Amino acid sequence: MTAGLVLVHGGAGTNAADLHEAAVAGTRRAASLGLGRLIELGDREDACVEAAIAAVRSLEDDPAFNAGRGACMTSLGQFEVDAGIMRSRDRQSGAVASVHELADACELARAVMERSKHALLVGDGARRFAEACGVGRFGRELVWTEKAEQRYEQARLGQTSIDNRADTVGAIALDRRGQLCALGSTGGVLLKLPGRVGDTPLIGAGFYADATLGAALGTGVGEAIMGRVGCYELLRRAAAGVGIQAAAEQLCQEIHRDTGAAVGFIAVGPDGSVGMAHCSAHMSWALAREGVEVVGALTVGPAPSMPG
């Protein structure tokens, strides 16, 4: 039986100094909650899905992060969120994009994976599907935060850079059956045009999970990650013999060199090996493994090595 693990990220970019502690505490909490769920479910089918959901729900509810409550605003001061999930056992995936004022996009992405024939639903159609399934908590008051409002006002007035903001979220879980689930959720990028979709809900770019390749999540400037189909590329390189940590580092450095964009990846191999790299000022992350104390940090760029 495989020893389970949950690897979480809290976004690649620049974390405001007053949110460093919250980012570390939030990612550690999420990884612990995910692992707790994994252990509770033992060798049940799709324990990895439940664990990833538990971790990401905790991050979506945490106002320190750019997902759910705490999501950033579009150029019109609205909230449009994206999420994507994939499980390795049958390569089923589900994603939602550009959904207004949704506090738990991870649950809706999961519903698309488990309860529809489709892989990606957007906008009003996603909302209608959510209502039909009885899934999703909607409302501006559920996603609005003072942090997001302040950033929006400052960015609009040109008082702060809108680039390289961190704090999108994601989790990869490996369960006792050896199955993997990758799940990411985001408000996207600050001042994005209405309707803009990044890498997070795009299979292969922002997320991927496969029984022989492993699972990966991307974070940072979505357009740069999409151009390289980041997660799939990382896992193919790892499986070709590069190793998961080296593949994550290589790809981050290449994308950053070619585009100048802040990017990061986390990845887990089918054997439980983990990789994490970023080319950005910061990235918060946490790793919870069965029988081992949770580790986590907010690391400073460009490309730290992953312990354990």
Residues that bind ligand ASP (CB under 6 A): 11, 13, 168, 186, 188-189, 198-200, 219-222
Nearer to ligand ASP, 230 or 269 (CB): 230
> How far is it, in rounded angstroms, from Cα 242 to Cα 106?
31
Q: Quote the least distance from Cβ 80 to ligand ASP, whole Å.
A: 10
- Answer yes or no: are the C-beta atoms of 143 and 151 closer than 8 Å: no
Which residue reads 């985001």 in tokens?
Answer: 186
Q: Is 20 exposed, middle or buried (0-12, 13-18, 19+ CB in 10 A)?
A: middle
The answer on whether 196 is annotated among ligand-binding residues is yes
Q: Quote the least distance from Cβ 222 to ligand ASP, whole Å.
A: 2
The answer on whether 184 is annotated among ligand-binding residues is no
Nearer to ligand ASP, 103 or 189 (CB): 189
The answer on whether 221 is annotated among ligand-binding residues is yes
Cis amide leading into 302 (omega within 30): yes
Angle at alpha carbon of residue 111, lines to 268 and 129, rounded to 5°: 145
14 is catalytic: no
Q: Which residue of the set 168, 186, 200, 299 is catalytic? A: 168
Helix ranges (H only) for the chain are 20-41, 47-60, 105-115, 123-133, 140-143, 146-156, 222-226, 230-237, 244-259
The answer on whether 178 is annotated among ligand-binding residues is no
Nearer to ligand ASP, 173 or 202 (CB): 202
Q: State the distance between the two ends of the chain, measured CA to CA, in whole angstroms.
A: 19
Q: Quote the least distance from Cβ 224 to ligand ASP, whole Å.
A: 9
Nearer to ligand ASP, 115 or 161 (CB): 161
Q: Quote the least distance from Cβ 2 to ligand ASP, whole Å.
A: 28
- Answer yes or no: are the C-beta atoms of 251 and 232 closer than 8 Å: no
The answer on whether 220 is annotated among ligand-binding residues is yes
For residue 283, which amino acid is it? M
State the binding site for substrate.
196-199, 219-222
List the catalytic residues.
168
